Structure 1
C-alpha cells in the first residue's frame, strides 16, 4: 500500500509537501495530496494571475503544472528528493477560468530521471491543459 504524505508535512514555512516555493505562495497555490506516484494541487480563483481576457494566464498554468508534476516526481521521498526540470511540453485545450485543480502522475521513474504527466481542470471538470515533463532527481542537501 502507498504511504500517504500529508498535504503539508513539516513546518508552516515549508508548506509544499515539505519544501517552500515562493512563486507558488505568490500564485496562491494550495497543496492538496501526495502519495507515491501522485500529486494534487489546487489554485483558487485569483484576479492577479489572469490574462487580458480574464482567463488564467498560460504562464501560470505552466508554472503550477511544473510544480505539480515535480511533486509527483519526488513523491517517493519528498523530504529527501529535489528535482530539476529537464523538459516540459504543455498543451492548452480550453480557457482556464476560476478555481483549478491539478493532478500529476509518474509515468516512469528510474534512479536519476522521472517522467510525469499531468492535467489542469476547472471547477466544472473541463480539461483545460495537459503536460508531460521529465525531471532529474537530486538528493536534497541537509533534507529534513
Structure 2
C-alpha cells in the first residue's frame, strides 16, 4: 500500500493530504495518516469547539467525520480525485471530551461512488461517535 503522510504530499499550504480545507484549519484538525482505503486525523482539545455542557459540539464531530471519511474515499489517488458528499449518517454514542482521534475506512469503492465508515474516539479509547457516508468521486483537473 502507498502510505501518504502529512509531510508528503502535504505542504504548509495544502496540509490535508495534499489539499487545503480552511474549515479544518479553523477547527485545528491535524492530519495523521492516510493509506489506501484508510484515513486518520486528530482533533486537539479546544474550548471554542464545545457546546453549552462543555462537550465537543456535534456539528464539529460531523464536520471532522465528513472530512476524515472523505479522506478514505480519495485515499486511492488523493491528488487526482476529489469527492462530494452524497449522504452521511451519524450516531452519537457518548459525550465527546478532550482530544479526539478519527479513523475511517473505505468499505466499497466503485468507478463513481465510494462508501465509507468511521468513528471518533476519546483519549481513553471510547468510541463517542460513528458515521457512514457515500461520496461521489470527481476526477480533478490535471489528474490521471
Give me the TM-score of the superposition, normalised by structure 1: 0.96
Which residue number in structure 2 is paired with residue 6 of structure 1?
5
Q: Is residue 2:51 matched to residue 1:51?
A: yes
Per the TM alignment, residue 12 of structure 1 is displaced from its structure 2 partner at its CA by: 1.0
The whole-number CA distance in structure 2 between the counterparts of 1:91 and 1:18 is 29
Matching of residues 76-95 of structure 1 within 5 Å: 76-95=76-95
1:83-106, Cα deviation, whole Å (9 max, x unpaired) = 000000000000000000000001
Aligned-residue RMSD, C-alpha: 1.2
Give distance in 1, aligned partners of 2:43 and 2:116.
20
With structure 2 as the length reference, what TM-score do the two structures score? Answer: 0.96
SS of 2:86's partner is: strand
List 4+ stretches of structure 1 deviating above 4 A.
none
**1:27 — aligned with what?**
27
Q: How does 1:101-140 map to 2 (within 5 A)?
A: 101-140=101-140
* 1:72 corresponding residue in structure 2: 72
Q: Counterparts of 1:65 and 1:98 in 2: how far apart (Å)?
A: 16
CA displacement 1:3-48 (0-9 Å, x = unmatched)? 1112241421000000000000000000000000000000000011
Provide the aligned length of Structure 1 versus Structure 2. Answer: 143
* SS of match in other structure, 2:85: strand
> Corresponding residue for 2:42?
42
Q: Give ranges in structure 2 of 5+ residues lacking alignment.
A: none
Q: Which moved more, 1:6-15 or 1:101-110?
A: 6-15
3-state secondary structure, aligned to 1:114:
strand
CA contact (8 A) 2:10 2:16 kept: no
For structure 1, the residue ranges without an aligned partner over 5 or more in a row are: none
Give the deviation of 1:143 after TM superposition.
Answer: 5.2
